[in-house]
């Protein structure tokens, strides 16, 4: 059985009217989505501010779990939400649907 490895992935934007985008694997979302004027906002781009907090639904494939620094921040700004991620920290290796969510304060 041959396993097909995709070189590009679709990013959809939940309930937004923004058109889906096809991006290469391992794309830096903070750069591409800012240029494309997407509905996801970015602040620090290093995973410490929480501005790019999104809820991720994986449509095809898998995404790696958050690294420890991102996981710590997610426990504070999105407690109990296992689908919450920082868009600036995502390694794009799957087709995903993302929707901006507000941090809990």
Tens digit of pLDDT per residue, the chain (105 long)? Answer: 554 556 899 999 999 999 999 999 998 899 888 888 899 999 999 999 999 999 999 999 999 999 999 999 999 999 999 999 999 999 999 999 999 999 987
Q: What is residue 52's predicted lDDT score, i.e. its pLDDT?
A: 96
pTM: 0.89
- Which CATH number characterizes residue 40's domain? 3.10.20.30
Q: Is residue 23 part of a domain?
A: yes
What pLDDT does residue 71 have? 97
- How many CB atoms lie under 10 A from the CB of residue 104? 13
Asked whether residue 70 is domain-assigned, the answer is yes
Structural domain includes residue 13: yes
Residue 52 covered by a domain:
yes
- The answer to whether residue 85 sits within a structural domain is yes
Pairing type for strands 95-100 and 21-24 reads unpaired
Burial classification of residue 76, based on how many CB atoms lie within 10 Å of its CB (0-12 exposed, 13-18 middle, 19 or more buried): exposed
Cα–Cα distance measured from residue 53 to residue 79, given in angstroms and rounded to the nearest whole number: 12
Domain membership flag for residue 92: yes
pLDDT of residue 31: 86
Q: Which domain holds residue 80?
A: 8-100
Residue 66: what pLDDT?
Answer: 97
Overall number of domains in the chain: 1
Does 1 reside within a domain? no
């Amino acid at each position: 059985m041959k396993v097909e490895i995709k070189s590009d992935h679709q990013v959809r934007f939940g309930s937004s009217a923004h058109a889906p985008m096809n991006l290469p694997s391992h794309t830096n979302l903070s750069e591409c989505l800012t240029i494309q004027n997407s509905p996801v906002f970015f602040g620090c781009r290093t995973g410490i501010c929480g501005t790019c907090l999104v809820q991720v639904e994986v449509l095809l494939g898998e995404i790696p779990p958050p690294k420890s620094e991102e996981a710590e921040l997610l426990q504070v700004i999105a407690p109990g939400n296992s689908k919450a991620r920082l868009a600036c920290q995502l390694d794009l290796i799957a087709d995903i649907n993302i929707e901006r969510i507000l941090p809990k304060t």
